[in-house]
């Protein structure tokens, strides 16, 4: 039997500014998204405001996020860790901790020079962010009603593919 986390897949197409939700391979929903201010780049270091590219999974859910609701993305992944180690951005210990978290499908270390705390989240009601403008620091933002719907459907462990 397929678990709820395995049945759904999230695909984010950065160029199209679209999040696709599929269930057992069938497209179920499509949502417009706002991305990081530096959205066209692949996330490389803390503070670059880029939205990462690659294969990830949802590693945590936060029902009381500053940005309505949020789903944590397992950035950095193994490829990011390899790149970071080769570029001397992270230590061997940080590299090992990232890989161990990925193997366990847990939350990777979030406070390395590679950056972290990349989420799919809603909007801050106080700021009334423009849904058509890229305003995040690397996250993927949806309108709050869409975020509520996604939050209710998605489980920790759900795979997410982010493409250019």
- Tell whether the model's pLDDT for residue 2 goes beyond 70: no
Whole-number pLDDT of residue 124: 80
Contact (CB, 8 A) for 81 and 71: no
Residue 128, pLDDT score: 63
> What contacts 154, CB < 8 A, 6 or more positions away?
5, 8, 10, 58, 61, 71
CATH class of 4-163: mainly beta
The answer to whether the beta carbons of residues 129 and 141 sit under 8 Å apart is yes
Hey, where are the domains in the chain?
4-163
**pLDDT tens digit sequence for 20-31:** 999 999 999 999
Pick from 5-14, 87-96, 144-153: least confident: 5-14
Arithmetic mean of pLDDT over the chain = 93
Report the share of the chain in percent with pLDDT over 70: 92
| pLDDT beyond 90 at 34 | yes
Quick one: pLDDT at residue 97?
98
| Dist CA 76 CA 84 (whole Å) | 9
pLDDT recorded at residue 71: 98
Tens of pLDDT, residue by residue over 105-158, are 999 999 999 999 999 999 887 666 666 689 999 999 999 999 999 999 999 999
Percent of the chain with pLDDT over 90: 89
Cα radius of gyration rounded to whole Å, the chain: 15
Quick one: pLDDT at residue 68?
Answer: 94
Return the closest-CA partner of residue 105 out of 162, 158, 51: 158
The token duo for 55 is: 């294969």
């Amino acid at each position: 039997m397929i678990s709820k986390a395995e049945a759904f897949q999230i695909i984010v197409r950065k160029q199209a500014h679209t999040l696709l939700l599929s269930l057992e391979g069938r497209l179920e929903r499509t949502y417009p998204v706002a991305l990081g201010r530096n959205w066209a780049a692949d996330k490389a270091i803390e503070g670059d405001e880029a939205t990462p590219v690659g294969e990830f999974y949802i590693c945590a859910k936060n029902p009381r996020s500053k940005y309505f609701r949020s789903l944590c993305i397992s950035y950095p992944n193994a490829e990011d860790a390899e790149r970071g180690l080769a570029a001397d951005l992270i230590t061997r210990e940080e590299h090992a901790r990232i890989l161990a978290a990925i193997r366990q499908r847990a939350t990777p270390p979030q406070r390395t020079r590679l950056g972290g705390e990349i989420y799919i989240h809603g909007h801050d009601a106080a700021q009334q962010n423009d849904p058509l403008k890229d305003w995040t620091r690397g996250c993927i933002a949806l309108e709050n009603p869409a975020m509520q719907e996604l939050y209710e459907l998605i489980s920790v462990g759900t795979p997410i593919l982010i493409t250019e």
